[in-house]
């Protein structure tokens, strides 16, 4: 009898461990709308930073973000990204180093891009940013059906299309746009989310809406501790369309400081510390520098299919910047990757993207030097 009980206990322990393969218990996914892989990996562009048509004060901007060396430029622009994430996590998308990450949708603008990120597939029907409620099930729909995640999900965004993109009508996940959900909720479970007004540095006021989005999201995380959250920033795309390269760079730099602040909070909170994976990405790239196409994206801007992703957490190896990648990675793999990290079975369909294995296991990828050997 004792032997039988011992075996049963051992079996139950094995089953428990087999069901909980990963240490990740929480995921925070953040998007920088329309932020180019070129600036992520090489920093400020020389032609654009010296073009008075796109920059108000060239000297000031160059003092902030210019260096002759590309690695120094990118570190000036995004010091937390390259000083912490690159050392502790994995970064994908430097096409100059043979590491491609692409969109699979043909349209290469926001609604189709976010649909791909969250549903794991492209949908030709979604051909407008004014498309109604998304008919495709997404990662939030999936998690809302799991007892351990139900009503412990949230999204925060600057752009007002996200309630439709994530279809909050269907899954009842709160999607806050400028402090409010569609049903008018404006508080964080009794904690009014207004501290951003006293904590925003004066130099950040040029990107005020993203600033509000960030500080509201952080307060909500502090007050409610959702297991999975999305934060969608918008103003990198807005300033690019407006041709304001200086504001575009300054916004990216500001968001990098916010990510440092967010990671500090996550690593000092008992629920999130050492149990949270942070994912940064974008919804689409941008066109070439020719005839001002860097400002825009879409079907006619083929280069805007190039995107990027950065990820760090307890299950992701410290591969740093991937180089000489053997196969392309697609945006449609992100949703399945989130499900894999949380040990939840993703939707069963051959059309959907599969998890990005290189970021869901602690097994390190070969270095560039090893690959060349």
What does residue 324 show for φ and ψ, rounded to 5 degrees? 50, 50
d(CA 259, CA 210): 12
Write down the pLDDT at residue 5. Answer: 42
Q: What is the pLDDT of residue 288?
A: 82
- In this prediction, residue 181 carries a pLDDT of 67
How far is it, in rounded angstroms, from Cα 80 to Cα 212? 21
Tokens of 72: 């120094």
Q: How far apart are CA 116 and CA 319, in angstroms?
A: 25
List the one residue out of 44, 31, 99, 109 whose CA is nearest residue 301.
Answer: 109
**Cβ–Cβ < 8 Å for 41, 323:** no
Query: Which of 3.40.720.10, 1.10.3720.10, 3.50.50.60, 3.30.1330.100 is the CATH number of 22-366?
Result: 3.40.720.10
Estimate to the nearest angstrom the gap between the alpha carbon of 301 and the chain centroid.
22
pLDDT the model gives residue 373: 37
Residue 371 is predicted with a pLDDT of: 38
**Beta strand 90-92 with 329-330: parallel, antiparallel or unpaired?**
unpaired
Q: pLDDT below 70 — which residues of the chain?
A: 1-20, 180-207, 291-292, 363-373
pLDDT value, residue 361 = 83
φ, ψ (nearest 5 deg) of residue 17: -70, -35
Q: 336 to each of 144, 208, 351, how far by Cα in Å? A: 15, 33, 12
Q: Residue 143 has which token pair?
A: 């998690």
Residue closest to 303 by CA, chosen among 324, 322, 284: 284
- pLDDT single digits (tens) 246-281: 999 999 999 999 999 999 999 999 999 999 999 999
Taking residue 293's Cβ as centre, other Cβ atoms within 10 Å add up to: 17
Q: What is the DSSP string of 216-228?
A: HHHHHHHHH--SE
Return the structure tokens found at 49. Answer: 């930073």
**Token output for 132:** 């109604």
- pLDDT at res. 231: 98
Give pLDDT, residue 201: 45
pLDDT digits (tens, 9 = 90+) for 30-78: 999 999 999 999 999 999 999 999 999 999 999 999 999 999 999 999 9
What's the CA gap between 132 and 116, in Å, rounded? 16
Pairing label, strands 191-192, 187-188: antiparallel
- Output the pTM of the full model: 0.89
């Amino acid at each position: 009898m004792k032997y039988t009980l011992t075996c049963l206990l051992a079996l139950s322990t094995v089953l428990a461990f087999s069901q909980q393969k990963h240490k990740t218990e929480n995921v925070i996914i953040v998007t920088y709308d329309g932020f180019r892989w070129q600036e992520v990996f090489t920093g400020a562009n020389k032609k654009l930073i010296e073009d008075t048509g796109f920059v108000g004060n060239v000297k000031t901007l160059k003092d902030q973000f210019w260096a002759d060396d590309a690695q120094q430029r990118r570190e000036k622009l995004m010091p937390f990204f390259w000083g912490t994430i690159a050392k502790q996590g994995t970064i994908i998308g430097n096409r100059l180093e043979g590491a491609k990450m692409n969109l699979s949708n043909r349209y290469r603008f926001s609604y189709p891009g976010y649909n791909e990120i969250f549903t794991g597939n492209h949908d030709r029907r979604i051909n407008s940013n004014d498309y109604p409620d998304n008919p495709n099930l997404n990662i939030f729909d999936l998690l809302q059906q799991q007892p351990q995640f139900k009503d412990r999900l949230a999204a925060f965004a600057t752009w007002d299309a996200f309630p439709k993109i994530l279809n909050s009508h269907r899954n009842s996940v709160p999607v806050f746009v400028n402090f409010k959900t569609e049903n008018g909720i404006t508080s964080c479970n009794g904690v009014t989310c207004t501290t951003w007004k006293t904590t925003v540095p004066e130099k950040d006021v040029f990107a005020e809406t993203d600033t509000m989005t960030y500080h509201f999201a952080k307060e909500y995380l502090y007050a409610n501790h959702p297991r999975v959250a999305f934060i969608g920033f918008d103003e990198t795309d807005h300033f690019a369309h407006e041709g304001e390269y200086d504001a575009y760079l300054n916004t990216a730099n500001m968001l990098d400081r916010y990510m440092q602040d967010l990671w500090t909070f996550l690593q000092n909170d008992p629920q999130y510390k050492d149990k949270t994976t942070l994912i940064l990405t974008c919804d689409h790239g941008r066109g070439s520098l020719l005839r001002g196409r860097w400002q825009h994206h879409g079907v006619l801007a083929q280069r805007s299919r190039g995107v990027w992703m950065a990820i760090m957490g307890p299950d992701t190896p410290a591969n740093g910047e991937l180089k000489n990648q053997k196969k392309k990675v697609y945006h449609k793999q992100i949703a399945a990757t989130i499900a894999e990290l949380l040990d939840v079975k993703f939707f069963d369909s051959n059309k959907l993207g599969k998890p990005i294995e290189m970021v869901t296991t602690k097994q390190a990828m070969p270095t560039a030097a090893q690959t060349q050997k």
